[in-house]
Structure 1
Amino acid sequence: MDDVEIEDVNDDGSPYHVEKVPLTNQDVTSLALTGEFLSQYGWYLLAVTVMTYLLIQRLSKRRSTQNGSSSLPQTPQDAAFVARRQEAMEAARRKMQEELDAKAAIFRDKQKQQEEEKRRQKIEVWESMQQGKSYKGAAKLSQTSEEANSSSLLKPKTDKKPLRSADYNPLTGQGGGSCSWRPGRRGPSSGG
Protein backbone atom coordinates (compact mmCIF):
# COMPACT_ATOMS: atom_id res chain seq x y z
CA MET A 1 0.00 0.00 0.00
CA ASP A 2 1.11 3.41 -0.80
CA ASP A 3 1.03 6.18 1.66
CA VAL A 4 -1.57 8.64 0.66
CA GLU A 5 -1.49 12.16 1.85
CA ILE A 6 -4.65 14.14 2.07
CA GLU A 7 -4.46 17.88 2.08
CA ASP A 8 -7.24 20.31 2.70
CA VAL A 9 -7.53 22.99 0.12
CA ASN A 10 -9.03 26.43 0.57
CA ASP A 11 -11.55 27.82 -1.88
CA ASP A 12 -8.80 29.56 -3.82
CA GLY A 13 -6.87 26.33 -4.23
CA SER A 14 -4.07 27.06 -1.80
CA PRO A 15 -3.21 24.35 0.70
CA TYR A 16 -4.77 24.65 4.10
CA HIS A 17 -2.28 24.62 6.93
CA VAL A 18 -3.19 23.73 10.49
CA GLU A 19 -0.89 24.47 13.32
CA LYS A 20 -0.43 21.61 15.66
CA VAL A 21 -0.82 22.69 19.31
CA PRO A 22 -0.30 20.22 22.14
CA LEU A 23 -3.62 19.18 23.66
CA THR A 24 -4.19 20.18 27.28
CA ASN A 25 -7.41 20.15 29.24
CA GLN A 26 -7.78 23.11 31.58
CA ASP A 27 -10.45 21.35 33.68
CA VAL A 28 -8.13 18.49 34.61
CA THR A 29 -5.46 20.88 35.84
CA SER A 30 -7.94 22.60 38.16
CA LEU A 31 -8.91 19.21 39.58
CA ALA A 32 -5.29 18.38 40.13
CA LEU A 33 -4.83 21.61 42.08
CA THR A 34 -7.94 20.88 44.18
CA GLY A 35 -6.76 17.36 44.93
CA GLU A 36 -3.35 18.69 45.91
CA PHE A 37 -4.98 21.26 48.26
CA LEU A 38 -7.18 18.59 49.87
CA SER A 39 -4.25 16.24 50.36
CA GLN A 40 -2.30 18.94 52.20
CA TYR A 41 -5.09 20.62 54.22
CA GLY A 42 -7.93 18.05 54.25
CA TRP A 43 -7.94 17.26 57.98
CA TYR A 44 -7.81 20.92 58.89
CA LEU A 45 -10.67 21.66 56.52
CA LEU A 46 -12.74 18.84 58.01
CA ALA A 47 -12.11 20.06 61.57
CA VAL A 48 -13.06 23.64 60.67
CA THR A 49 -16.26 22.41 59.00
CA VAL A 50 -17.32 20.33 62.02
CA MET A 51 -16.58 23.17 64.45
CA THR A 52 -18.59 25.60 62.32
CA TYR A 53 -21.54 23.19 62.25
CA LEU A 54 -21.47 22.71 66.03
CA LEU A 55 -21.21 26.45 66.61
CA ILE A 56 -24.24 27.11 64.39
CA GLN A 57 -26.26 24.45 66.22
CA ARG A 58 -25.39 25.87 69.63
CA LEU A 59 -26.22 29.41 68.60
CA SER A 60 -29.58 28.35 67.16
CA LYS A 61 -30.47 26.53 70.41
CA ARG A 62 -29.49 29.53 72.50
CA ARG A 63 -31.52 31.83 70.25
CA SER A 64 -34.60 29.58 70.48
CA THR A 65 -34.42 29.46 74.30
CA GLN A 66 -34.01 33.22 74.49
CA ASN A 67 -36.98 33.73 72.20
CA GLY A 68 -39.13 31.40 74.31
CA SER A 69 -38.23 32.96 77.67
CA SER A 70 -38.00 36.60 76.65
CA SER A 71 -41.04 36.60 74.41
CA LEU A 72 -43.69 39.22 74.87
CA PRO A 73 -45.01 39.38 78.42
CA GLN A 74 -48.19 37.45 78.95
CA THR A 75 -51.33 39.33 78.11
CA PRO A 76 -54.03 39.63 80.73
CA GLN A 77 -56.17 37.16 78.78
CA ASP A 78 -53.44 34.52 78.92
CA ALA A 79 -52.88 35.11 82.63
CA ALA A 80 -56.60 34.81 83.31
CA PHE A 81 -56.77 31.63 81.26
CA VAL A 82 -53.85 30.11 83.17
CA ALA A 83 -55.41 31.10 86.50
CA ARG A 84 -58.77 29.54 85.52
CA ARG A 85 -57.04 26.38 84.41
CA GLN A 86 -55.11 26.07 87.66
CA GLU A 87 -58.27 26.67 89.69
CA ALA A 88 -60.08 23.97 87.74
CA MET A 89 -57.21 21.53 88.34
CA GLU A 90 -57.24 22.31 92.07
CA ALA A 91 -61.01 21.78 92.20
CA ALA A 92 -60.67 18.44 90.44
CA ARG A 93 -57.89 17.38 92.82
CA ARG A 94 -59.99 18.38 95.85
CA LYS A 95 -62.96 16.41 94.51
CA MET A 96 -60.84 13.31 93.90
CA GLN A 97 -59.30 13.61 97.38
CA GLU A 98 -62.76 13.88 98.98
CA GLU A 99 -63.92 10.76 97.11
CA LEU A 100 -60.81 8.91 98.23
CA ASP A 101 -61.33 10.00 101.83
CA ALA A 102 -64.96 8.83 101.73
CA LYS A 103 -63.95 5.42 100.36
CA ALA A 104 -61.26 5.12 103.02
CA ALA A 105 -63.78 5.94 105.77
CA ILE A 106 -66.20 3.29 104.44
CA PHE A 107 -63.38 0.74 104.32
CA ARG A 108 -62.34 1.55 107.90
CA ASP A 109 -65.95 1.14 109.07
CA LYS A 110 -66.17 -2.26 107.38
CA GLN A 111 -62.88 -3.31 108.94
CA LYS A 112 -64.10 -2.25 112.39
CA GLN A 113 -67.34 -4.19 111.90
CA GLN A 114 -65.44 -7.30 110.87
CA GLU A 115 -63.09 -7.02 113.81
CA GLU A 116 -66.05 -6.50 116.15
CA GLU A 117 -67.76 -9.58 114.67
CA LYS A 118 -64.62 -11.69 115.12
CA ARG A 119 -64.21 -10.46 118.70
CA ARG A 120 -67.88 -11.25 119.44
CA GLN A 121 -67.48 -14.76 118.00
CA LYS A 122 -64.35 -15.37 120.07
CA ILE A 123 -66.27 -14.28 123.18
CA GLU A 124 -69.13 -16.65 122.30
CA VAL A 125 -66.70 -19.52 121.81
CA TRP A 126 -65.01 -18.74 125.12
CA GLU A 127 -68.34 -18.58 126.94
CA SER A 128 -69.50 -21.83 125.38
CA MET A 129 -66.26 -23.52 126.44
CA GLN A 130 -66.70 -22.16 129.98
CA GLN A 131 -70.20 -23.63 130.08
CA GLY A 132 -68.88 -26.98 128.89
CA LYS A 133 -70.39 -26.87 125.43
CA SER A 134 -68.42 -28.08 122.46
CA TYR A 135 -66.13 -25.64 120.71
CA LYS A 136 -66.98 -27.06 117.27
CA GLY A 137 -70.67 -26.40 117.62
CA ALA A 138 -70.09 -22.72 118.28
CA ALA A 139 -67.59 -22.54 115.46
CA LYS A 140 -70.09 -24.15 113.07
CA LEU A 141 -72.75 -21.65 114.06
CA SER A 142 -70.39 -18.75 113.39
CA GLN A 143 -69.34 -20.26 110.07
CA THR A 144 -72.92 -20.71 108.94
CA SER A 145 -73.67 -17.09 109.80
CA GLU A 146 -70.59 -15.99 107.82
CA GLU A 147 -71.59 -18.21 104.90
CA ALA A 148 -75.08 -16.72 104.94
CA ASN A 149 -73.55 -13.25 104.75
CA SER A 150 -71.11 -14.18 102.00
CA SER A 151 -73.57 -16.31 100.01
CA SER A 152 -75.32 -13.18 98.84
CA LEU A 153 -72.02 -12.09 97.29
CA LEU A 154 -71.12 -15.43 95.69
CA LYS A 155 -72.89 -17.25 92.89
CA PRO A 156 -75.04 -20.18 93.94
CA LYS A 157 -73.49 -23.56 93.18
CA THR A 158 -75.07 -25.60 90.45
CA ASP A 159 -75.38 -29.35 90.74
CA LYS A 160 -72.89 -30.97 88.42
CA LYS A 161 -73.53 -34.57 87.54
CA PRO A 162 -70.52 -36.80 86.97
CA LEU A 163 -69.72 -37.42 83.34
CA ARG A 164 -69.36 -41.15 83.83
CA SER A 165 -70.71 -43.60 86.32
CA ALA A 166 -68.60 -44.54 89.32
CA ASP A 167 -68.06 -48.13 88.15
CA TYR A 168 -66.57 -47.08 84.79
CA ASN A 169 -63.18 -48.58 84.08
CA PRO A 170 -61.78 -48.11 80.58
CA LEU A 171 -59.34 -51.00 80.98
CA THR A 172 -62.03 -53.62 81.48
CA GLY A 173 -64.42 -52.28 78.88
CA GLN A 174 -67.34 -52.37 81.30
CA GLY A 175 -69.61 -49.44 82.02
CA GLY A 176 -68.44 -47.53 78.99
CA GLY A 177 -71.66 -47.53 77.05
CA SER A 178 -72.22 -48.98 73.60
CA CYS A 179 -68.59 -49.16 72.53
CA SER A 180 -66.22 -51.53 74.24
CA TRP A 181 -62.91 -53.01 73.24
CA ARG A 182 -61.48 -56.19 74.58
CA PRO A 183 -58.03 -57.48 73.84
CA GLY A 184 -57.74 -60.66 71.83
CA ARG A 185 -56.73 -64.02 73.30
CA ARG A 186 -53.14 -64.63 74.01
CA GLY A 187 -51.40 -67.65 72.76
CA PRO A 188 -50.87 -69.44 69.50
CA SER A 189 -53.61 -69.31 66.94
CA SER A 190 -55.56 -72.50 66.42
CA GLY A 191 -55.36 -74.02 63.03
CA GLY A 192 -53.00 -76.00 61.08
Structure 2
Amino acid sequence: MEADEDTADIKSTLKNQDLSFLQSNVAVLLSEYGWYLVFLCIGIYVVLQHLLKKRPRQEQSGTSGDPDPVSVVRRQEAMEAARKKMQEELDAKAALFLEKQRELDEEKSKQKIDKWESMKEGKSFKGNSKISQNSDEASSSTVLKPKSDKKTLRNDGYSPLSGGAGGSCAWRPGRRGPSAGG
Protein backbone atom coordinates (compact mmCIF):
# COMPACT_ATOMS: atom_id res chain seq x y z
CA MET A 1 0.00 0.00 0.00
CA GLU A 2 2.75 2.39 0.75
CA ALA A 3 4.21 1.71 -2.71
CA ASP A 4 0.91 2.72 -4.27
CA GLU A 5 0.87 5.92 -2.25
CA ASP A 6 4.48 6.74 -3.24
CA THR A 7 3.76 6.29 -6.95
CA ALA A 8 0.62 8.39 -6.60
CA ASP A 9 2.62 11.19 -4.95
CA ILE A 10 5.25 11.09 -7.74
CA LYS A 11 2.57 11.23 -10.44
CA SER A 12 0.86 14.16 -8.76
CA THR A 13 4.11 16.07 -8.38
CA LEU A 14 5.01 15.46 -12.03
CA LYS A 15 1.63 16.72 -13.19
CA ASN A 16 1.93 19.86 -11.08
CA GLN A 17 5.42 20.83 -12.18
CA ASP A 18 5.77 23.34 -14.98
CA LEU A 19 8.58 23.52 -17.54
CA SER A 20 10.58 26.19 -15.72
CA PHE A 21 13.24 23.71 -14.57
CA LEU A 22 13.70 22.60 -18.20
CA GLN A 23 14.18 26.17 -19.33
CA SER A 24 16.76 26.81 -16.65
CA ASN A 25 18.67 23.62 -17.58
CA VAL A 26 18.69 24.54 -21.28
CA ALA A 27 19.89 28.04 -20.45
CA VAL A 28 22.74 26.62 -18.37
CA LEU A 29 23.73 24.19 -21.16
CA LEU A 30 23.73 26.93 -23.79
CA SER A 31 25.70 29.32 -21.61
CA GLU A 32 28.39 26.71 -20.90
CA TYR A 33 28.55 24.82 -24.22
CA GLY A 34 26.91 27.21 -26.68
CA TRP A 35 29.86 27.81 -28.98
CA TYR A 36 30.67 24.11 -29.09
CA LEU A 37 27.10 23.34 -30.11
CA VAL A 38 27.17 26.02 -32.82
CA PHE A 39 30.40 24.67 -34.30
CA LEU A 40 29.08 21.10 -34.08
CA CYS A 41 25.93 22.07 -36.01
CA ILE A 42 27.96 23.87 -38.67
CA GLY A 43 30.27 20.86 -39.05
CA ILE A 44 27.34 18.46 -39.41
CA TYR A 45 25.79 20.77 -42.03
CA VAL A 46 29.02 20.93 -44.07
CA VAL A 47 29.49 17.15 -43.96
CA LEU A 48 25.90 16.55 -45.06
CA GLN A 49 26.26 19.01 -47.95
CA HIS A 50 29.45 17.29 -49.06
CA LEU A 51 27.82 13.86 -48.96
CA LEU A 52 24.77 15.08 -50.87
CA LYS A 53 26.97 16.53 -53.62
CA LYS A 54 28.90 13.29 -53.89
CA ARG A 55 25.82 11.07 -54.17
CA PRO A 56 24.57 12.32 -57.60
CA ARG A 57 28.03 11.80 -59.11
CA GLN A 58 28.02 8.19 -58.02
CA GLU A 59 24.56 7.66 -59.46
CA GLN A 60 25.54 9.23 -62.79
CA SER A 61 28.74 7.20 -63.14
CA GLY A 62 26.98 3.95 -62.34
CA THR A 63 23.98 4.31 -64.62
CA SER A 64 20.74 3.09 -63.19
CA GLY A 65 20.04 -0.50 -64.11
CA ASP A 66 21.85 -2.54 -66.75
CA PRO A 67 23.70 -0.74 -69.54
CA ASP A 68 22.48 -0.97 -73.09
CA PRO A 69 23.72 -4.24 -74.66
CA VAL A 70 24.43 -2.53 -77.98
CA SER A 71 26.74 0.02 -76.36
CA VAL A 72 28.53 -2.74 -74.46
CA VAL A 73 29.14 -4.65 -77.70
CA ARG A 74 30.41 -1.48 -79.44
CA ARG A 75 32.76 -0.72 -76.58
CA GLN A 76 34.14 -4.28 -76.59
CA GLU A 77 34.64 -4.18 -80.37
CA ALA A 78 36.45 -0.86 -80.11
CA MET A 79 38.72 -2.25 -77.38
CA GLU A 80 39.42 -5.34 -79.48
CA ALA A 81 40.28 -3.21 -82.52
CA ALA A 82 42.62 -1.05 -80.44
CA ARG A 83 44.32 -4.15 -79.02
CA LYS A 84 44.72 -5.63 -82.49
CA LYS A 85 46.25 -2.38 -83.80
CA MET A 86 48.71 -2.22 -80.91
CA GLN A 87 49.65 -5.88 -81.44
CA GLU A 88 50.30 -5.26 -85.15
CA GLU A 89 52.56 -2.30 -84.30
CA LEU A 90 54.43 -4.43 -81.79
CA ASP A 91 54.85 -7.24 -84.33
CA ALA A 92 56.19 -4.78 -86.93
CA LYS A 93 58.72 -3.38 -84.44
CA ALA A 94 59.78 -6.91 -83.50
CA ALA A 95 60.27 -7.84 -87.17
CA LEU A 96 62.45 -4.75 -87.73
CA PHE A 97 64.47 -5.56 -84.65
CA LEU A 98 65.03 -9.16 -85.80
CA GLU A 99 66.10 -7.95 -89.26
CA LYS A 100 68.62 -5.56 -87.71
CA GLN A 101 69.92 -8.34 -85.48
CA ARG A 102 70.37 -10.64 -88.52
CA GLU A 103 72.25 -7.90 -90.37
CA LEU A 104 74.52 -7.34 -87.37
CA ASP A 105 75.17 -11.07 -87.05
CA GLU A 106 76.00 -11.31 -90.76
CA GLU A 107 78.35 -8.34 -90.50
CA LYS A 108 80.07 -9.86 -87.47
CA SER A 109 80.49 -13.18 -89.24
CA LYS A 110 81.95 -11.40 -92.32
CA GLN A 111 84.40 -9.57 -90.06
CA LYS A 112 85.43 -12.83 -88.42
CA ILE A 113 85.95 -14.45 -91.84
CA ASP A 114 88.00 -11.47 -93.04
CA LYS A 115 90.03 -11.58 -89.84
CA TRP A 116 90.70 -15.30 -90.26
CA GLU A 117 91.73 -14.86 -93.91
CA SER A 118 94.04 -11.98 -93.08
CA MET A 119 95.66 -14.04 -90.33
CA LYS A 120 96.22 -16.90 -92.82
CA GLU A 121 97.95 -14.48 -95.19
CA GLY A 122 100.15 -13.23 -92.38
CA LYS A 123 98.67 -9.75 -92.24
CA SER A 124 97.58 -7.91 -89.15
CA PHE A 125 94.56 -9.42 -87.51
CA LYS A 126 92.92 -5.99 -87.31
CA GLY A 127 91.86 -6.26 -90.91
CA ASN A 128 92.92 -4.65 -94.17
CA SER A 129 92.97 -1.13 -92.77
CA LYS A 130 96.66 -1.39 -91.83
CA ILE A 131 99.28 -2.21 -94.41
CA SER A 132 101.98 -4.55 -93.26
CA GLN A 133 105.28 -2.83 -92.60
CA ASN A 134 108.62 -3.89 -93.95
CA SER A 135 111.06 -5.44 -91.53
CA ASP A 136 113.36 -2.40 -91.91
CA GLU A 137 110.61 -0.01 -90.85
CA ALA A 138 109.59 -2.29 -87.98
CA SER A 139 113.15 -2.49 -86.66
CA SER A 140 113.65 1.29 -86.82
CA SER A 141 110.49 1.91 -84.83
CA THR A 142 111.71 -0.33 -82.00
CA VAL A 143 114.92 1.62 -81.34
CA LEU A 144 115.10 2.74 -77.72
CA LYS A 145 115.34 6.41 -76.92
CA PRO A 146 117.98 7.51 -74.47
CA LYS A 147 116.83 8.64 -71.07
CA SER A 148 117.10 12.30 -70.34
CA ASP A 149 117.85 13.88 -67.00
CA LYS A 150 115.24 15.50 -64.76
CA LYS A 151 116.15 19.07 -65.69
CA THR A 152 115.19 18.57 -69.30
CA LEU A 153 111.92 16.99 -68.27
CA ARG A 154 111.01 20.03 -66.19
CA ASN A 155 112.05 22.32 -68.98
CA ASP A 156 109.77 20.43 -71.35
CA GLY A 157 106.73 21.77 -69.49
CA TYR A 158 106.28 19.11 -66.87
CA SER A 159 105.13 20.34 -63.48
CA PRO A 160 104.28 17.86 -60.72
CA LEU A 161 101.63 20.18 -59.26
CA SER A 162 99.79 20.83 -62.50
CA GLY A 163 98.37 17.32 -62.71
CA GLY A 164 98.63 17.18 -66.47
CA ALA A 165 101.35 16.58 -69.10
CA GLY A 166 101.95 12.94 -68.26
CA GLY A 167 102.12 11.16 -64.98
CA SER A 168 99.14 9.45 -63.48
CA CYS A 169 99.56 10.68 -59.92
CA ALA A 170 97.66 13.66 -58.64
CA TRP A 171 97.51 15.28 -55.24
CA ARG A 172 94.42 14.45 -53.23
CA PRO A 173 93.46 15.75 -49.81
CA GLY A 174 93.67 13.39 -46.86
CA ARG A 175 90.77 11.78 -45.06
CA ARG A 176 88.60 13.99 -42.93
CA GLY A 177 87.98 11.47 -40.17
CA PRO A 178 90.03 10.93 -37.06
CA SER A 179 93.43 9.40 -37.50
CA ALA A 180 93.65 5.68 -37.12
CA GLY A 181 96.17 5.06 -34.39
CA GLY A 182 96.88 2.37 -31.95
Q: Which band: TM-score by shorter chain?
A: 0.3 to 0.5
TM-score norm. by structure 1 comes to 0.44
TM-score norm. by structure 2 comes to 0.46
Richer in helix (by share):
2
